[in-house]
Amino acid sequence: MSRERNAQKLAEDHLPLSPATFQVLMALVDDERHGYSIMREATERSDGSVRLGPGTLYGTLKRLLESGLVEEGGERVDPAMGDERRRYYRITDLGMAVARAEARRLDRVVRAARRRKLIGPEPA
């Protein structure tokens, strides 16, 4: 129990995340991806409202690697993208815990906004 609480505390130390950081973590939740795939996933998931440029993407990945939320998963060719080798990135257990903690935090913010009628009720 205390161990779980410590892990949660450790995850919450990373909050709040910037939108770019949260988008990169969310893109990696299902599968490991290379940079371009992360960029496309973030754009598609946000209906085009988030467009990560190469500088923002790799700046974010560098920080995530340094803080242990993401790790490198080796280099290989993505058959859908030609014959160039690409470096893959995957989320770590800590990264997953941080992404969950951020999602819970955002959920609390949205619920508070609903209570104050800043936004409409949750769609059925």
Instruction: Catalog residues that contact another protein under the rule CB under 8 A.
Output: 34-36, 39, 51, 53-59, 61-63, 81, 84, 86-87
Q: How far is the CB of 81 from another protein (least distance, A)?
A: 7
Can you tell me the distance from the alpha carbon of 22 to that of 6, in angstroms, rounded to the nearest whole number?
Answer: 22
Q: What is the DSSP letter of 13?
A: T
Tally the residues of the chain: 124
Specify the residue, 55 or 120, whose C-beta has the smaller distance to another protein: 55
Could you tell me which residues are beta bridge partners of residue 75? 87
**Which residue, 31 or 36, has its beta carbon nearer to another protein?**
36
Closest distance to another protein from the beta carbon of 67 (Å): 12
45 contacts 23 by C-beta, under 8 angstroms: yes
Q: Which residue, 84 or 122, has its beta carbon nearer to another protein? A: 84
